[in-house]
């Protein structure tokens, strides 16, 4: 049925519906009204006259989603169920089984059970494949089957799952789940405190402040704030977290939009907890949005040294707009600019390449921090000090996205036993074992060079290529394939870090992973060393 209303037809017609808001509506009233009338007529006639039965709700949902895909990945239509999920994510509380779950067509994969919560109590482990929930087989359920795991506190749900080829059944009693913004904080040494800020939900400022005060009470004279893998969240929390370290009245971020009321300057409103304590902020390629507001503004104000790898580069602000029947439109309303005036948006969704992919900014503009240090826009937050293992590359991302690292960690867990996190050691022999698994697996990773060569071989130009040229192309492709296997060694440090992270969580949960970091994570060790050298730390900022 989705083929009935093609993307090309729907985009220009249905796009008009959501442009009914703001200044565009006022200036183009006739055109908007005209297009809405065309669409209303089309939709009515289609559903009344099509040869088979249609599902109006499904058609409309498909139409809206196809239209929004033309804009950016953050502008989304939220049905009533999505609205509730959005509220839960921001509030940091919900009722369920307490596990990260990934949906597939025929199964739900347990990515990470949270320690002490229902899924963990019921014995579920990362890597378990849920194939049935109650009487419903996941493969037969057309919607997202993970919704079947949610329910009221105290209610139960029976799940059937596969583990290492064996089928098992367990009953889970749902509970209220609290999602901590700060899942871990601890003293690294006598004078250095470490805080993990994992997300910017409504608890972010409160929990970061509590952790900071607790560590200061234990003697902390220096702080490492870890924003790695923090996907962002509430803008207000980003400003308030920044405010913990900078004075009242500082400009943190500015938002600019075509709609006047969304143009705002955001200043700190409270007295800081400590505006002098030496501070290092850790970021990586998965630090986005609110994480980049905090790290970027602290960098612009010369309040902290940023370490790690270039951040994600999301400089867009979204706001939920209420629609009818309990639905909402989460729409990109503005771009944000850090204290120095830079927008760090990395992808240009409004100027795409021939394949329809957003173009990555490569021409950066220079800005200056308060002390005159050069910083740049357009590509995320570039750390003051880069750390090799914090960086990402296409091969590592492909291994993660295709669950190659995840699956290896699952098998490793059932083949090895450790009693404490200090016992764990990932050896060169283990990495060789991983490489053999990759070679044997169906994992495929196509580089840009491979894609270009394959296109050349399959295109019209192929008719004009002689056999020698074609053979040369094929030899080149074979060499590229060999090079990808060799790249496993080239990027061993980055890949091994991800393997260690995934494996340690299997045995010792998140707390164990952070404990492991304190003695083994390259970025934390480098940050601790920097904070121990006052002249070097101050030299970077000044």
Would you please indicate which residues are annotated as catalytic (active-site) residues?
289, 300, 314
CB 454 within 8 A of CB 477: yes
- Nearest Cα residue to 321 out of 39, 20, 89: 20
Structure tokens at 135: 């009487």
- The CA-atom distances, in angstroms, between 133 and each of 27, 156, 169, 296 are 52, 11, 10, 44
- Alpha-carbon torsion (481, 427, 124, 436), positive or negative: positive
How many Å apart are CA 174 and CA 157, to the nearest integer? Answer: 8
Structure tokens at 105: 């067509």
Strand partners, 331: 319
How many Å apart are CA 409 and CA 304, to the nearest integer? Answer: 35
406: left (phi over 0), alpha (psi -120 to 50) or beta: alpha
Strand partners, 318: 332
SS3 assignment for 393-422: CHHHHHHHHCCHHHHHHHHHHHHCCCCCHH
Which strand ranges, in their side-by-side order, compose the sheet holding 222-226? 184-187, 192-196, 222-226, 279-283, 305-308, 385-386
- Alpha-carbon torsion (36, 39, 43, 44), positive or negative: positive
CB 470 within 8 A of CB 457: yes
- Nearest Cα residue to 104 out of 145, 155, 152: 145
Strand ranges inside 251-345, DSSP E? 251-256, 264-267, 279-283, 305-308, 316-322, 328-338
Q: What element of type H or E holds 85?
A: helix 80-91
How many Å apart are CA 180 and CA 199, to the nearest integer? Answer: 8
| Angle, vertex CA 169, rays to CA 166 and CA 175, nearest 5 | 135
Give the count of beta carbons closer than 10 Å to the beta carbon of residue 32.
Answer: 17
| Angle, vertex CA 380, rays to CA 376 and CA 383, nearest 5 | 75
- The CA-atom distances, in angstroms, between 405 and each of 322, 343, 394, 421 are 41, 34, 14, 20
In the chain, the largest separation of any two C-alpha atoms, in whole Å, equals 78
Give me the count of residues in the chain: 542
């Amino acid at each position: 049925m989705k083929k009935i209303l093609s993307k090309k037809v729907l985009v220009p017609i249905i796009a008009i519906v959501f442009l009914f808001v703001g200044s565009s509506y006022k200036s183009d009233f006739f055109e908007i009204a005209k297009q809405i009338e065309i669409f209303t007529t089309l939709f009515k006639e289609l559903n009344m006259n099509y040869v088979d039965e249609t599902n109006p709700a499904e058609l409309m949902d498909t139409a809206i989603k196809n239209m929004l895909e033309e804009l950016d990945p953050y502008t989304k239509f939220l049905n009533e169920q999505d609205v509730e999920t959005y509220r839960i994510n921001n509030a940091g509380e919900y009722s369920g089984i307490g596990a990260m779950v990934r949906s597939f067509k025929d199964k739900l994969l347990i990515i990470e059970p949270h320690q002490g919560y229902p899924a963990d109590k019921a014995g579920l482990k990362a890597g378990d494949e849920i194939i049935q929930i109650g009487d419903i087989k996941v493969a037969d359920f057309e919607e997202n089957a993970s919704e079947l795991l949610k329910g009221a506190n105290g209610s139960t749900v029976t799940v059937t799952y596969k583990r290492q080829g064996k089928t098992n059944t367990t009953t889970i009693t749902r509970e209220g789940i609290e999602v901590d913004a700060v899942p871990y904080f601890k003293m690294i040494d006598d004078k250095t405190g470490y805080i993990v800020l994992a997300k910017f939900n409504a608890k972010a400022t409160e929990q970061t402040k509590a952790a900071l005060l607790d560590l200061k009470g234990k003697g902390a004279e220096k702080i490492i704030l870890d924003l790695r893998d923090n996907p962002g969240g509430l803008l207000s929390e980003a400003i308030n977290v920044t405010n913990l370290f900078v004075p009242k009245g500082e400009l943190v971020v500015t938002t600019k939009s075509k709609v006047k009321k969304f143009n705002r300057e955001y200043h700190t409103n409270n007295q800081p907890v400590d505006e002098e304590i030496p501070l290092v902020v850790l970021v990586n390629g998965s630090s986005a949005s609110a994480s980049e507001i905090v790290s970027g503004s602290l960098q612009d104000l010369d309040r902290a040294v940023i370490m790690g790898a270039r951040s994600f580069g999301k400089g867009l602000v979204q706001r939920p707009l209420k629609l009818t029947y309990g639905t909402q439109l989460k729409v990109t309303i503005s771009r944000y600019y850090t204290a120095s005036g830079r927008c760090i948006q990395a992808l240009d969704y409004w100027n795409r390449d021939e394949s329809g992919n957003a173009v990555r900014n490569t021409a950066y503009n220079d800005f200056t921090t308060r002390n005159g240090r050069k910083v740049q826009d357009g590509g995320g937050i570039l750390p003051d000090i880069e750390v090799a293992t914090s960086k990402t590359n296409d091969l590592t991302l492909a291994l993660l996205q295709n669950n190659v690292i995840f699956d290896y960690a699952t098998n490793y867990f059932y083949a090895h036993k450790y009693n404490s996190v200090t016992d764990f050691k990932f050896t060169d022999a283990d990495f060789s074992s991983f490489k053999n698994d990759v070679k044997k697996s169906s994992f495929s990773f196509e580089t840009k060079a491979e894609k270009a060569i394959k296109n050349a071989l399959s295109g019209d130009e192929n008719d004009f290529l002689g056999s020698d040229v074609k053979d040369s192309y094929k030899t080149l492709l074979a060499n590229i394939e060999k090079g990808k296997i060799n790249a496993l060694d080239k990027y061993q440090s980055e890949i091994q870090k991800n393997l260690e992270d995934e494996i340690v969580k299997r045995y010792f949960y998140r707390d164990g992973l952070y404990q492991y970091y304190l003695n083994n994570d390259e970025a934390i060790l480098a940050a601790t060393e920097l904070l121990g050298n006052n002249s070097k730390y101050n030299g970077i900022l000044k």
